[in-house]
Structure 1
Amino acid sequence: MVLVYDGECEFCCRCADWVAKRVRVDMSPGTGEDLQRLGLSSQEAKRSLWWIDGDLRLSGHEAVAKIFRDMGGAWRALGTAMTVPPISWTSALCYRLVAGNRHRFTKRPS
């Protein structure tokens, strides 16, 4: 399992650190050889968070939902809810809003 994030984005790096403390997953800052091996372009890695586990490829809010499900407890319930319409529609919108404004959440622009 690999979590691919934008390693040039301070907000993304902080989120990846938070996840690394809670979920057993390999982390990739979305650069170079990792991207080629995983079959992602640099644009895809910069645009969305990716969860890749063999043939399973999730991005955006679906990747976040998978992380939450793997955390267990109440997080598992939240992650499951995030994949069920109409909550999934709201989750997708929220993800796009946060991703599009992530530079505003840190001092250093991404």
Structure 2
Amino acid sequence: MLVYDGDCVFCCRCARWVAERSDIELIADGDADLEGLGLTPSDTKRFVWWVDNDRKLSGHKAVGKVLLSLGGAWGLLGTAMKVPPVSWLGALTYRLVANNRHRFGGGCG
């Protein structure tokens, strides 16, 4: 399951893109049982979260897991994002995009 900031237009667009290409369960933070998932509203406003049983991945690691799940060329990128130096670049890119997401198509909550 991927939990994302449902108040963020950019995040919603990304979630829609994933939904069109996969059967990954996507849930906006406002619709999720955050407490049951061990997350807080603050967590989901700062990062996207991949939740699989009791395992949670955030930020670029969650994005990498989504890409891996998509398979094909996306899956190769997801695999590459697990190892340095690609993982470092992924973390940096995620932070840059997350910190500026309001510039990518609308406001964020």
CA distance in 2 between partners of 1:80 and 1:90 (Å) = 13
Partner of 2:101: 102
Q: Which runs of 5+ in 1 are unaligned?
A: none
Closer, same or farther in 2 for the Cα pair 1:32/1:78, shift >3 Å? closer
CA distance in 1 between partners of 2:42 and 2:74 (Å) = 29
User: What is the TM-score of this pair, normalised by structure 2?
Assistant: 0.93
The number of equivalent residue pairs is 108
User: What is the TM-score of this pair, normalised by structure 1?
Assistant: 0.93
Q: What RMSD in Å do the two structures reach over aligned CA positions?
A: 1.2
**Residue identity matched to 2:66:** I
Closer, same or farther in 2 for the Cα pair 1:85/1:30, shift >3 Å? same
Deviation readout 1:13-43 (Å, 9 max, x if unpaired): 0000111112222221112652122110000
- Per the TM alignment, residue 86 of structure 1 is displaced from its structure 2 partner at its CA by 1.1
- Work out the percentage of aligned pairs sharing the same amino acid: 56
Partner of 1:52: 51
- Contact 2:3-2:32 within 8 A present in 1 as well: no
Matched, 1:67 2:66: yes
Partner of 1:80: 79
Larger relative contact order, structure 1 or 2 (CA cutoff 8 Å, min sep 6) = 2
- Contact 2:50-2:57 within 8 A present in 1 as well: yes
CA distance in 2 between partners of 1:4 and 1:25 (Å) = 11
State which drifts further: 29-38 or 94-103: 29-38
**Residue identity matched to 1:22:** R
Q: Which runs of 5+ in 2 are unaligned?
A: none
- Contact 2:2-2:49 within 8 A present in 1 as well: yes
Matched, 1:25 2:37: no
Matched, 1:91 2:90: yes
